[in-house]
Amino acid sequence: MESQRLVILSGGLPGRENDYVAWYRDQHLGDIVAIDGVLAGQLCTADPPVAAGGRHVAAVYDIAPDAAGPIFAEIARRRGTPAFPQTDAFNPPVTVFSVARARGPWKPASSVEAQSTHRLIALGVEAETMDLLGDTPGGWRAYSVESVPGRPPSPWSSLSYAAVSPSDPAAFLAQACTRCGASGFAREEDFLGLFRQIAQKSRS
Assign residue 60 the CATH number of its domain.
3.30.70
Q: Which of 90, 37, 91 is closest to 66 using CA atoms?
A: 37
* Averaged pLDDT for residues 170-191: 65
| 196 touches 118 (CB < 8 A) | yes
Q: Over 60: is that where the pLDDT of 21 sits?
A: yes
Count of domains observed in the chain: 1
pTM of the predicted structure, to 2 decimals = 0.81
Q: What is the DSSP string of 112-156?
A: HHHH-SEEEEEES--HHHHGGGTTSSSEEEEEEEE--TTSPPPS-
Q: Over 70: is that where the pLDDT of 177 sits?
A: yes
Q: Which of 87-101, 120-134, 188-202 has the lowest mean pLDDT?
A: 120-134
By residue range, what is the domain housing residue 50? Answer: 4-202
| 92 touches 173 (CB < 8 A) | no
pLDDT at residue 98, rounded to an integer: 66
Q: Over 60: is that where the pLDDT of 86 sits?
A: yes
